[in-house]
């Protein structure tokens, strides 16, 4: 390069940075578009993990988590109607209606194993309930059959070790005649005798199995 060329280069000096606002706007629009696509994709992927039967299940079958497979599906508002892995207890469940192989397990199609052994029945106490009869207490159900003249025969244990679910406060005319209604859990094998006592209008009383220790 000759001296004249060097002189011209020095006269021009360093090149200034060129910035066009339209270029920045274009980049911003691209970023917004990409972000919108990501939001749409993440929203569309609203699948939840539910359980499905590995094989056909029949009413009465006892199942555990090993009998079920986990699937991710999009159920929308129907998600609450199907079992999720956390709904399967350690002691398993009992099938109450037929479930096909691969079918998602509806919550209404299974029950707890405890439900096979016990059931709740509401009984009316003949006399006042002891104060210790509260929710969760264990009681014996005694009954006495009616005899001639409006009296009752000697009482006997109808059901032992029944668990109180709740005590229903008496009201109205019932309050003056009975001690109140109590919902209790009893073994299914003993339900028939309890229902028979109720239908025969036997006098039923609840006796606590254990009493609280007073200080």
| Element housing 187 (H / E) | strand 180-187
Last residue of a domain, one of 112, 133, 148: 112
User: What is the pLDDT at residue 149?
Assistant: 76
Do the Cβ atoms of 91 and 111 come closer than 8 Å?
no
Task: Judge if 131 and 198 occupy the same domain.
Answer: yes
Six token digits for residue 134? 């509260």
Residues 204, 121 within the same domain? yes
- Residues 6 or more apart whose Cβ sits within 8 Å of residue 191: 119, 121
Helix (H, G, I), strand (E, B) or coil at 112: strand
Beta partners for 167? 182
Within this chain, do residues 130 and 61 fall inside the same structural domain, yes or no? no
pLDDT over threshold 90, residue 103 = yes
Domain-embedded: residue 31: no
CA-based max dimension of the chain: 141
Q: Which CATH number is 62's domain given? A: 3.90.1210.10
Is 194 in the same domain as 128?
Answer: yes
CA dihedral angle for residue 168, residue 174, residue 178, residue 181, rounded to 10 degrees: -20
Give domain status of residue 62, yes or no.
yes
Instruction: Identify whether residues 63 and 140 lie together within a single domain.
Output: no
Q: What is the mean pLDDT of the chain?
A: 79
pLDDT at residue 59 in the model: 76
Domain-ending residue, one of 112, 134, 152: 112
Helix (H) or strand (E) holding 160: strand 156-168
- The answer to whether residue 4 scores a pLDDT higher than 70 is no
CA atoms of 125 and 131, how far apart (whole Å): 13
SS3 state at 87: helix
Q: Which residue in 26, 31, 88 sits closest to 54, CA to CA?
A: 88
pLDDT per residue as tens digits for the range 28-37? 777 777 766 6
Parent domain of 89: 48-112
Same domain, 132 and 204: yes
DSSP per position, 36-76:
HHHHHHHHH---EEEEEESS-B-TT-EE-GGGEEEEEE--G
Q: Are 125 and 64 within one domain? A: no
Residue 159 is assigned to a structural domain of this protein: yes
User: Does 83 fall in a domain?
Assistant: yes
- Residue 166, in any domain of the structure: yes
**183 in a domain, yes or no?**
yes
Looking at 63, 78, 112, the residue that finishes a domain is: 112
Look at residue 35 and tell me if it is in a domain.
no
pLDDT of residue 172: 45
Same-domain pairing of 99 and 76: yes
What pLDDT band is residue 12 in, cutting at 50, 70 and 90? low
What is the number of structural domains in the chain? 2
- Is the pLDDT confidence value at 114 over 80? no
Are 74 and 103 in the same domain?
yes
Range with the largest mean pLDDT of 38-42, 47-51, 74-78, 171-175: 47-51
Predicted confidence at residue 175, as pLDDT, reads: 43
202 with 156, same domain?
yes
123-178: pLDDT as tens digits: 999 888 888 888 888 899 999 998 887 788 999 999 998 888 888 865 544 444 55
Report pTM.
Answer: 0.50
Q: Looking at the structure, tell me whether residues 129 and 203 fall in a common domain.
A: yes
Residue 191 domain flag: yes
Instruction: For residues 135 and 99, state if they share a domain.
Output: no
């Amino acid at each position: 390069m000759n001296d004249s060329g060097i002189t011209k280069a020095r006269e021009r000096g360093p090149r200034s940075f060129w910035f066009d606002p339209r270029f920045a706007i274009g980049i911003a629009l691209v970023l917004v578009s990409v972000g919108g696509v990501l939001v749409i994709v993440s929203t569309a992927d609203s699948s939840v993990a539910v359980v499905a039967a590995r094989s056909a299940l029949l009413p009465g079958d006892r199942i555990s988590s090993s009998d079920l497979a986990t699937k991710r599906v999009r159920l929308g508002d129907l998600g609450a109607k199907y079992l999720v892995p956390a709904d399967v207890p350690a002691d398993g469940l009992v099938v109450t209606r037929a479930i096909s192989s691969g079918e998602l397990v509806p919550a209404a199609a299974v029950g707890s194993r405890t439900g096979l052994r016990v059931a709740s029945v509401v009984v009316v106490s003949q006399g006042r309930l002891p104060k210790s009869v509260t929710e969760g207490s264990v009681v014996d159900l005694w009954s006495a059959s009616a005899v001639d003249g409006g009296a009752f025969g000697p009482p006997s244990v109808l059901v032992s070790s029944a668990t109180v679910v709740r005590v229903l406060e008496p009201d109205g005319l019932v309050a003056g005649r009975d001690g109140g209604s109590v919902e209790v859990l009893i073994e299914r094998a003993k339900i028939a005798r309890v229902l028979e006592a109720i239908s025969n209008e036997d006098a039923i009383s609840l006796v606590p199995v254990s009493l609280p220790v007073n200080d």
